[in-house]
Structure formats: C-alpha cells, structure tokens
Structure 1
C-alpha cells in the first residue's frame, strides 16, 4: 500500500522546496519591481538604474559611482546628468600622455568652469563634489549658491613635482586624472581664493577648509595648502591614488 503522506518521510526536502518557492517568488517580485518602467522604487535607491549625479545620496550612491567610474560609457552617460560636458575624441600626445575618454567640462553641478579638457572620470568626481558638497556648503555658510569653480588646469604632459624637485615619474595630470582647483565664486560675485583666503576671513577660511575635507569623499587623493608649499594656492584633486587626504 502506498504511503498517503509521503512528506512525512522526507520533511526536510519538502520544507526546503517550500522555502525556495516562497523566497524565489519574493526575489522575482523584487526584480520585477526594480526593472518595471513604472517601478515605485526611486532612482536613487534602485541598483538597476545608473548613477544620476542629482539623485539624493543613499547607501548605494558610492557603489553606483564606482560602477560608472570603471566603465567609460557609463561615465559619459552619468556625467550628462549633472554637468555640462562636451564629449571629444580621445587625445594622444605620446605613449605617456593623453586623455581618454576626453570631455570639455564647462559646468559641474550648478557651478560654471572655464572650459577645461579633462578625463570623464575626473569630471564626474568633480560634478559629484560640486552638487553634493560644495553647493550645500555655500548655502550653509554664506546663504547663497556657488556660481563658479576656478581652476588652473587638468591636463599637462609633465613629470610629478615635489618640494625636492622632479621625481622622474609622470604626473597624474599627464592623463588628466587630476585637476587643480584654485578657488570659487559665489552667486553675489564674492571670490574665494586658496592663496588669499585659506588663513583669511573666518567664513571664507571655513568654507575652503570644509571644501578640502569634503573633496576627500569624492576623490582618491586630495592635496591642499596643509600638504606643502607647492599646494598653497590650489587643491590637487585626483581620480586615481591610494586615499591620501591632506
């Protein structure tokens, strides 16, 4: 005679099957919720949506940013969500110098820049810094927006410079993996200069020092006036590096 209740002989197998059915269905539902065109999940929280510079910060923002930085196509797409940047052909000067992928950046977040040719990854980090750190900081300290970020350059085919002279190694500027920021301009025209204001008027100095600190959130290497005399007049902000924040 057959057993009318076979599940009694193998309860673990049946419970495992039920568990897989329930949680498999839940996972499928979550997947459909993320990929459906009318998903209720916001772009900022949806891991299936690419990085949008202007999305609010969430616990997955950095993960999205790292994905965009690792893929040139994703980087260029993300940059268009929070910057004004013209895509340009890759530039090759020699076997050690060039820019790829190259953009001409003229606005990061809501702040203008004198057009600068740089690498997409450097521009994307700058846009995130401007939108999520600098603009809120200007509103907090000065009660107004940030209208411009001033800079010296991004690309320069040269060796790395130190206080002791040249190192013989190529600078990150040789591949536009960094940019040198010299100051800022507020909406009312007030200018902030690292060289003049780092130890100057209280509010200006506070803004510049906090700008230095927040840059470390978005760039792999940040060097400012506290690092050495070569950086007395600018922030060196670098896409590549080992996490130095000075």
Structure 2
C-alpha cells in the first residue's frame, strides 16, 4: 500500500472512530458542536444549525419537541385530508408568535411553524434592529393552507402539481409593521431591478428578510421571480431547494 493511501485510510478510520464515540456518548462534547444533538431554537445560529433544523423538520416527534421550545402558542391540529392531494399532517394552528400575525391563527405544518420561528428570531428581528433600531411587531400574510395547485400566473391548469400550500407547507408574507407603527410592504417597497445600490432602509430590510428566509426555509420566492410574487414572499418547506 502506498504511503498517501495509507494515510488517507488511517485518517478516515480515525474520523469514523471519533464520530462513533460522539454518537454513542463515549466522548462528551457541547451540544452546540454535536451534530446529533437536538436543535436548540434559542441558540445563536452556527454551522450546524441548518443540519439540525433539517433533521427536526424530517422527524415529526423531533419537530414538535423543538417547536415546544419556541415559546409560541399553538393548537395541535388533527391529521386530515382536505381534498385530493391536500390535507394537514403534523400541523398546528399558530395562535401567537414573537410577532403579531395578520390575519391571525394560520394553520401551518410543524416544519413550517418551526422554520418561521427560526427566521423571525434569527434573521428578521436582527435585520430590523440593524436597519431601524427597533423590532418588527407584526407580519402581514396572504395565507398558508389552501387546497390548490401551483400558481404560475396562467390560472388553473389541469394536471398541474399541487402547491405546498395544499399541505400547509407554505406561507406568503406580504408586509411588516415595525414597533413604531411604520408599515413596510413587499408590493410597494421591494427594490426592483435598477435599485441594486439602494440605501433605502425599507428596501434593505426586505432584502435582508428575503436572504434570511433562504437560510431557514427550503424554498423562497419573491418579486424578482415572477409577477405572481410581486407582492409577497412565498416561503415553503419540503419542496425543491430554491432562493429566487
């Protein structure tokens, strides 16, 4: 066996042994640096946060355990079918969050509710503090659960795929209200093409909110994607990875 190959095999074996020791608790490391530790929703995000969030969203019991840490108030919803390819599974009715929601009490799958908390807590509020020196008090939305197909702007299309809204795995954010009552809307304040160098704080906050959402949701679509999304951010979990 040549020397480089031998060193590579030894390194791989050492890494596997170390991983197994951590996994079996033979060696204790802080949860923050342990990839098998549960997601801590209150901890500052680090390089393992995305991995832990994705695992929590995949496992219903783990998702609900993480959601219970958030401090949000919600009602568990019974699993049910609401139409062909539509329904609720491991879902909650969100009664209160870190911000007011308007309209109130949307129905969201547990993965969506968990991702919403992570986005609001670790992306949206820090951005609002940076841009305006105050928090976001309310999030205006256009709905979550709806038994319908993907909307590409051409109207109802027979045989089209179901939207992530059909299973409460999507949420459309239309605007924000700051603590001082100032309203920011995607339709009015999003910096469209030609405004790349804007210094407008409202536009920058919306950009920050969009970019932050891409860290905590599987899919994010905004006004630059197409005309259908000109007035909102479409946030979803469980679908294709996209940030547009």
TM-score bracket, normalised by the shorter chain, equals 0.7 to 0.9
Residue by residue over 1:105-157, the C-alpha shift from the partner in whole angstroms, topping out at 9 and shown as x without a partner, is 1344x223221111111111111111111010011000011222211110001
Query: Superposed, which structure 2 residues align to 1:76-225 within 5 Å?
Result: 76-82=64-70, 83-108=72-97, 110-113=98-101, 114-168=104-158, 169=160, 170-199=162-191, 202-225=200-223
What displacement does 1:42 show?
Answer: 4.4
SS of the residue aligned with 1:132?
Answer: helix
Q: Report if the CA contact (8 A) 2:21-2:27 is conserved.
A: no
What displacement does 1:86 show?
Answer: 2.1
What displacement does 1:53 show?
Answer: 1.2
Structure-2 residue corresponding to 1:16: none
Q: Report if the CA contact (8 A) 1:106-1:112 is conserved.
A: no
TM-score normalised per structure 2: 0.80
Tell me, in whole angstroms, the C-alpha distance in 2 between the residues paired with 1:81 and 1:219: 19
Going from structure 1 to structure 2, the CA distance change for 1:32 and 1:92 (only over 3 Å counts) comes to same
Name stretches of at least 5 consecutive residues in structure 2 with no aligned partner.
1-13, 193-198
Going from structure 1 to structure 2, the CA distance change for 1:112 and 1:46 (only over 3 Å counts) comes to farther
Tell me, in whole angstroms, the C-alpha distance in 1 between the residues paired with 2:176 and 2:33: 32
SS of the residue aligned with 1:210?
Answer: helix
Residue by residue over 1:21-80, the C-alpha shift from the partner in whole angstroms, topping out at 9 and shown as x without a partner, is xx89x948x92564xxxxxx5443344532121112122212211110111111111112
Q: Does 1:238 align with 2:236?
A: yes
Count how many residue pairs are aligned between Structure 1 and Structure 2: 219
Tell me, in whole angstroms, the C-alpha distance in 2 between the residues paired with 1:194 and 1:216: 16
- Equivalent residue for 1:74, pick from 62, 77, 85: 62
Q: Report if the CA contact (8 A) 1:85-1:107 is conserved.
A: yes
SS of the residue aligned with 1:57?
Answer: coil
Larger Rg, first or second structure (1 or 2): 1
Name stretches of at least 5 consecutive residues in structure 1 with no aligned partner.
1-19, 35-40
Tell me, in whole angstroms, the C-alpha distance in 2 between the residues paired with 1:167 and 1:45: 47
Structure-1 residue corresponding to 2:42: 54
TM-score normalised per structure 1: 0.79
Tell me, in whole angstroms, the C-alpha distance in 1 between the residues paired with 2:30 and 2:106: 33
Q: Report if the CA contact (8 A) 2:74-2:95 is conserved.
A: yes
Q: Which has the higher contact order (CA 8 A, sep 6+)?
A: 2
Q: Report if the CA contact (8 A) 1:44-1:57 is conserved.
A: no
**RMSD over aligned Cα atoms:** 2.7
Tell me, in whole angstroms, the C-alpha distance in 2 between the residues paired with 1:217 and 1:58: 11
